[in-house]
């Protein structure tokens, strides 16, 4: 065992050497040092604001749906560890990956039959895009190589995904002119329950028609735009996209990396619309937050198109593709989700968030409050600057909750196992954060 290091020493080394997400080097904000986690709680190595344990309102970027240190997932990891942590996937295969692929085919929308396992969400989006471009190349339409999406989206931080993130509000604005130029539609009108706006549907259709000759695919996050602004839209727009893509010969990709595995109240957000995309990405909650894993699923049409082309292979093969540990835990996580009454569980979280956030709408500085499935959002009237952001985070910590507000949003995507008392704690912390950001 290595010599123990004091929290102060660790944080000092962290500041000097460790690059954190979306931050400068060295970092300006001191991260919280987590010593361990179990259930829905993060245990800190030393108390911060007098608080030693935080209820995790973020589920580790929306992935830890069953909470931490879950006995079933721990057991699956230990069991697989005893067999093999990893073997290469080229020329070799193994039961956890085969089981996982079959299970994903079974539970995702009808018609998705083939599974490419990737090592992160962004890579699965790269693969999805490569599939679409290669499909058209293979069937003799190489000019179809652009993508269309609507504004306000987020699809990851590698190159192709960045090109379909929101071009203005997104984090990748400085790369305009360097990234591939994609086609952007307006943001879909807000509201999960709202009737689809006929004018907007027509504008989508017209844009797809106008660019049909050069479009390989339309790619969107179905029902919820997540890191682009935590906005909900009508499933009707997904049906409209399906119809327009079919009419004009364009593939449709759903990025379900954030919405998959029950987060919006349906197992997959596509299920709200009853639509099957040509390609679908899953990730984040796939392993219950234990290990990094994602997948791009596609229809036989896409797979056959590629496999009968001039270069009849999909030239992609991450070193850790189909990792046995990750796929074994993913199997356990999906089985755990489906063996319980997950719909009632997510509805309970939804009800708790609605109740707890109801009064937020009355707070000064709050523009709107919205809840869908296990997603709760307070949108402020103006974006948080660094000082107000820090004040909001501190207020949440003092309430015993880990939140990570961004832009004008104070939101939660908690583990589904969060009990009613902890949900109340999370919503109270969101109110406190909103309040603190105004003072
Ligand atoms: C998080 C996310 C990604 C990127 O996944 P990584 O695993 O972080 O690479 C892509 N699309 C959506 C919708 C996401 O929420």
Residue 199: partners with Cβ closer than 8 Å, 6 or more residues away: none
Residue 194: partners with Cβ closer than 8 Å, 6 or more residues away: 233, 234
Q: Is 427 in the pocket of ligand 1 (CB under 6 A)?
A: no
Binding-site sequence positions for substrate: 61, 154, 284, 317, 404
CATH number of 73-339: 3.40.640.10
d(CA 263, CA 65): 9
- Host H or E run for residue 217: strand 215-220
**How many residues would you count in the chain?**
439
Confidence of residue 276 (pLDDT cuts 50, 70, 90): very high
Q: Is the pLDDT of residue 350 over 90?
A: yes
The tokens for 291 are 């290990």
How far does the centroid of ligand 1 lie from the alpha carbon of residue 156, in Å? Answer: 5
Work out the angle at residue 424's Cα, subtended by the Cα atoms of residues 418 and 430, and round it to the nearest 5 degrees: 105
How many other CB atoms are there within 10 angstroms of residue 111's CB atom? Answer: 16
Q: Is 257 in the pocket of ligand 1 (CB under 6 A)?
A: yes
Ligand 1 atom closest to 61 (CA)? 1
Residue 425 is predicted with a pLDDT of: 98
Range(s) of the chain covered by CATH 3.90.1150.10: 32-63+341-438
pLDDT digits (tens, 9 = 90+) for 188-201: 999 999 999 999 99
Active site residues: 22, 154, 255, 284
Ligand 1 atom closest to 158 (CA)? 9
Residue 385: partners with Cβ closer than 8 Å, 6 or more residues away: none
Residue 413 is predicted with a pLDDT of: 98
How far does the centroid of ligand 1 lie from the alpha carbon of residue 157, in Å? Answer: 8
Q: What is the 3-state secondary structure (H, E, C) of 343-410?
A: HHHHHHHHHHHHHHHHHHHHCCCEEEEEEECCEEEEEECCCCCHHHHHHHHHHHHHCCEECCCECCEE
d(CA 220, CA 156): 12
Residue 169 is predicted with a pLDDT of: 74
How far does the centroid of ligand 1 lie from the alpha carbon of residue 152, in Å? Answer: 14
Residue 340 is predicted with a pLDDT of: 94
pLDDT digits (tens, 9 = 90+) for 60-108: 999 999 999 999 999 999 999 999 999 999 999 999 999 999 999 999 9
First to last CA, the chain: 47
Q: What is the mean pLDDT of residues 336-349?
A: 97
Q: Is the pLDDT of residue 173 over 80?
A: no
Confidence of residue 220 (pLDDT cuts 50, 70, 90): very high
Q: Is the pLDDT of residue 424 over 90?
A: yes
Residue 205: partners with Cβ closer than 8 Å, 6 or more residues away: 240, 243, 244, 247
Fold observed for domain 32-63+341-438: 3.90.1150
pLDDT digits (tens, 9 = 90+) for 15-47: 999 999 999 999 888 999 999 999 999 999 999
d(CA 419, CA 158): 36
Pick the closest to residue 211 from 243, 188, 251, 183 (CA basis): 183
Range(s) of the chain covered by CATH 3.40.640.10: 73-339
């Amino acid at each position: 065992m290595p010599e123990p290091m004091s929290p102060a020493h660790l944080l000092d080394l962290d500041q000097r050497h460790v690059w954190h997400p979306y931050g400068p080097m060295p970092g300006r904000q001191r991260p919280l040092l987590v010593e361990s986690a179990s259930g829905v709680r993060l245990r800190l190595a030393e108390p911060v604001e007098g608080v030693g344990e935080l209820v995790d309102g973020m589920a580790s970027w929306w992935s830890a749906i069953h909470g931490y240190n879950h006995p079933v997932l721990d057991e699956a990891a230990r069991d697989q560890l005893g067999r093999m942590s990893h073997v290469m996937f080229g020329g070799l295969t193994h039961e956890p990956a085969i089981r996982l692929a079959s299970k994903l085919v079974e539970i995702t929308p009808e018609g998705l039959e083939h599974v490419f396992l990737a090592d992160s969400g962004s890579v699965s989006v790269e693969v999805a895009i490569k599939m679409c471009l290669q499909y058209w190349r293979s069937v003799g339409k190489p000019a179809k190589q652009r993508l269309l999406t609507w504004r306000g989206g987020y699809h990851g931080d590698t190159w192709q995904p960045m090109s379909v993130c929101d071009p203005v509000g997104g984090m990748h604005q400085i790369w305009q002119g360097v990234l591939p130029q994609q086609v952007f539609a307006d943001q879909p009108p807000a509201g999960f329950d709202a009737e689809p706006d006929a004018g907007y549907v027509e504008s989508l259709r017209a844009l797809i028609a106008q660019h049909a000759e050069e479009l390989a695919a339309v790619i969107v996050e179905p029902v919820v735009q997540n890191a682009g602004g935590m906005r909900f839209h009508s499933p009707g727009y997904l049906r409209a996209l399906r119809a327009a893509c079919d009419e004009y010969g364009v593939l449709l990709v759903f990025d379900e990396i954030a919405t998959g595995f029950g987060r919006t109240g349906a197992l997959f957000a596509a299920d709200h619309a009853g639509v099957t995309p040509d390609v679908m990405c899953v990730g984040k909650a796939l392993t219950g937050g234990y290990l990094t894993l994602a997948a791009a699923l596609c229809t036989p049409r896409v797979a056959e198109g590629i496999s009968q082309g001039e270069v009849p292979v999909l030239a992609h093969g991450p070193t850790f593709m189909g990792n046995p540990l990750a796929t074994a835990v993913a199997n356990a996580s999906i089985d755990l989700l489906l063996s319980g009454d997950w719909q009632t569980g997510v509805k309970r979280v939804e009800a708790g968030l609605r109740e707890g956030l109801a009064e937020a709408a009355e707070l000064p500085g709050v523009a709107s409050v919205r809840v869908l499935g296990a997603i709760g959002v307070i949108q402020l009237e103006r974006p948080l600057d660094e000082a107000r952001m820090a004040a909001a985070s501190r207020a949440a910590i003092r309430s015993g909750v880990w939140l990570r507000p961004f832009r004008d949003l104070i939101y939660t995507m908690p583990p589904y196992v969060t009990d009613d008392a902890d949900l109340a704690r999370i919503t109270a912390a969101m109110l406190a954060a909103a309040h603190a950001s105004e003072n």
